[in-house]
Structure 1
């Protein structure tokens, strides 16, 4: 290299990006140069006439380190997101969190209901994290697996117990031993597995497929569904005795349209999240876009909100999120044609009415919750012509 040697290049690389790992490869190795390379931040030092396998081994070490760093970063981001989605300004969701916190102190079975995308797994993880259980949180989506695969996934199998069982495998019950087993979309579970599940819950004993050896398990059991379970029981799709067994502590998570107080917080969070992920700087969000994001009913709940914002940022130009990139259904929003001032007034009126109803028209409690004086509340009621009757 003209003008610099390997050590000089190493210094420049580390100066520009401290995360980049460098392996010095040289034909003229010496102890002094090796020490200097490591001192300046080289990952390792390789002399050309040595066994190439040594260099390959060093490269694999770098790869493994970066893989671990990426996994840790991803896990931190996921935990940060899940933790953030627990924060709330909604009275209804605060009640959910209170029940979840109390339930976490027991080992009772918990049954979480709510529409798709409301965050049922997030609440299940929240309960597990608040509990005294030291084992893992193990989620299973009952809808994503066929009957045979689901049984093997839950209970495990012995080698040769069925075609394709080329080795022994422990199931999710054993994996969750000492921790929490979360069965999402349990309403989709086949009847044959429901019978085996009920027995396992009652006895705390399971058997792997192809084995009659009993295995004791100790775990917290949480289930969730977005189905109408009473209707499923009537149709014979779900066993009533299993329903009673899993429904010790029921928790219903309200849809996003019932907790609009949290929308501004979620919108800001996902805007920041996808700004970083897409490496795009957002300078402006058009008023029509913000009106839509704050007024849309989100049948897909938090998952849909997240997807819409990701789409808007990906398609944005020059740091501006524009109305033309909104989904087609935005035209149905009741706020889409309002000015920002009109929109704010309408949302404020809706929020005051909702709060008054939640506190059974008690204006003292409502004003305290809203963070305004009782006189200010009366002024708002008069200004917006709010007439509510018990």
Structure 2
């Protein structure tokens, strides 16, 4: 049985919450002062504390700080009678599991308690498992155990023996610049790696950016400026999104690659090129050549050695290790202690198309890592990944039903979620007790299922609106 400590200076509210929690089956302790609450926490070692931060004897924020220091895994839900932005931000920043408005329906408190205890139990199960530390990764590591990535690594080894031009192709977010940096690190690690995004700079400025300019060559050229080709010295010049370069500038780049020399804008002296050029694109350059948007001669000059980066959807064998790598990075940068993702989340990762590739996966994990309450990232930490529009505006056909018609097998959870959402839609306006009778389940079970499937009874509009309530009352009066 989970133990819950409630600290609240309002004895009436304290008794109300205690009766509610005892009725729900929780072992409940109460304290009306911060000092008594801290003493009880030491004596009883509760799993969770419900704390009203507006205490009379001790500053509630001090109590929160001491509670979190006293017990590493304790969860604290903070309450305030008068919501204050700065105070809400402060309690969450200090490490409170959640904040709720004190005058709110006790069902919301119960929902927050359930989430906190579920997270705590998951953390404890994780602690009981044999501890396998996340693999050690270094900055710049590229994760890849699949056949395609192994072939790319072999190519990098061969390419690094020379300084030939390389073209890296692949969708956005597949790691083209990372591969370029690996090639550079194995070829000229002590020289500069200079990256230029050709799509981010207008043509007139890009020419000056690449080749530099002489003083007075144009209105704002007050001094001589060295271009990226010179700054790269004997290192690497990485031209990202090369497909966005104008035809006019393509011709100048071609000449530089052929002659290995150039002139600064407004200058006459020849400058020798020593840097290796690696270009990257997320577009099909062959198609652009056929359409007349990219010079064929430049394409062949860049495409001496080509590397094609596979999309993440074709690298399912790499996903678990990629997730571990990214979690290690998140823990280091965000000072978190996340140990992994749940089996359900990993299953969703493996079935996702990942149009944004590794960059999308990283952004998703970072967002979840920032907001997560526990050390295991669960379904609730990835609302976008599990979001399913269920009932259309014109009817009751759900996306889950369409999946079933298309031959895709549904899990029992999918079917249960679909059924609950249908009942809520069809019986819109009924209270939770009536809905429990229709579904044939108890109130606590109903609340757990709403939480499990991310259904908000209030937010999703399953309560009767004031207009509907008025019509109902008028209908009853008229009859």
Q: Same fold (TM over 0.5)?
A: yes
- 2:118 corresponding residue in structure 1: none
Between the aligned partners of 1:196 and 1:284, the Cα distance in structure 2 is: 50
Instruction: Measure, in 2, the Cα distance between the counterparts of 1:127 and 1:283.
Output: 32
Q: What is the TM-score with the length of structure 2 in the denominator?
A: 0.51
2:218 is the alignment partner of 1:162: yes
Say yes or no: does 1:82 pair with 2:140: yes
- Please state if 1:119 is matched with 2:175: yes
Deviations 1:341-383 (A, max 9, x none): xxxxxxxxxxxxxxxxxxxxxxxxxxxxxxxxxxxxxxxxxxx
Give distance in 2, aligned partners of 1:249 and 1:267: 30
Structure whose CA Rg is larger: 2
The corresponding residue for 1:304 is 360
Matched, 1:224 2:224: no
Residue 139 of structure 1 aligns to a residue whose secondary structure is strand
- Rounded to whole Å, the distance in 1 between the matches of 2:246 and 2:348 is 40
Is the alpha carbon distance of 1:195 and 1:148 closer, same or farther for their aligned partners in structure 2, counting shifts above 3 Å? same
Equivalent of 1:203 in 242, 247, 259: 259
- Structure 1 residue 244, shift from structure 2 partner: 0.7
Aligned residue number for residue 191 of structure 2: 135
SS in 2 for 1:209: coil
Aligned length: 260
Partner of residue 241 from structure 1, selected from 291, 297, 300: 297
For residue 94 of structure 2, what is the aligned residue in structure 1? none
Contact 2:215 2:221 in 1 (8 A): yes
1:290 Cα deviation after fit: 2.5
Unmatched tracts of structure 2, length 5 or more: 1-136, 389-399, 414-479
Residues 107, 289 of structure 1: alpha-carbon distance in 2 compared, 3 angstrom cutoff: same
Task: Using the TM superposition, give the Cα deviation of residue 338 of structure 1 relative to its aligned residue in structure 2, in angstroms.
Answer: 5.0
Spell out the pairing of 1:296-375 with structure 2 (5 A cutoff): 296-331=352-387
Task: Give the corresponding residue for 1:259.
Answer: 315
Aligned partners of 2:324 and 2:340 also within 8 Å: no
Once residues 412 and 317 of structure 2 are traced to their aligned partners in structure 1, the CA distance between those partners, rounded to angstroms, is 20
Cα distance change, pair 104–320 in 1 and its aligned pair in 2 (3 A) = closer
Post-superposition CA distance 1:290-314 (Å, at most 9, x none): 3222332211111111100001111
Q: 1:132-160 deviations in whole A, cap 9, x for unaligned?
A: 57522211111111111211110011122
Distance in structure 1 (CA, Å) of the matches to 2:173 and 2:193:
20
What's the CA shift string for 1:230-279, capped at 9, x where partnerless? 22112211101110111101111111111211111111121222123222
The aligned residue for residue 172 of structure 1 is 228
Using the TM superposition, give the Cα deviation of residue 124 of structure 1 relative to its aligned residue in structure 2, in angstroms: 0.9
Return the structure number with greater relative CO, CA threshold 8 A, min gap 6.
1
In structure 2, the partner of 1:365 is none
* SS of 2:140 mapped into structure 1: helix
Q: Is residue 277 from structure 1 mapped to residue 333 from structure 2 by the alignment?
A: yes
Q: Check whether the contact 2:260–2:272 (CA below 8 A) recurs between aligned residues.
A: yes
Indicate if the aligned counterparts of 1:288 and 1:336 stay in contact, CA closer than 8 A: no
Contact 2:261 2:272 in 1 (8 A): yes
CA–CA distance in 2 between the matches of 1:181 and 1:284?
Answer: 37
TM-score by length of 1: 0.62
Aligned-pair distance for 1:205?
0.7
| Unaligned runs of at least 5 residues, structure 1 | 1-78, 341-390
Q: Which residue pairs with 1:184 in the alignment?
A: 240
Give the Cα–Cα distance (whole angstroms) in 1 for the partners of residues 263 and 188 of structure 2: 26
> Matches of 1:338 and 1:92 in 2, distance apart?
32
2:147 to 78, 82, 91: 91
Q: CA separation of 1:170/1:337 partners in 2, compared to 1, >3 Å: closer, same or farther? A: farther
Q: How far 1:80 sits from its partner (Å)?
A: 2.5
Q: Secondary structure at the match of 2:139?
A: helix
Q: 1:323 to 1:337 in 2, by over 3 A?
A: farther
> How many angstroms does 1:88 deviate by?
2.1
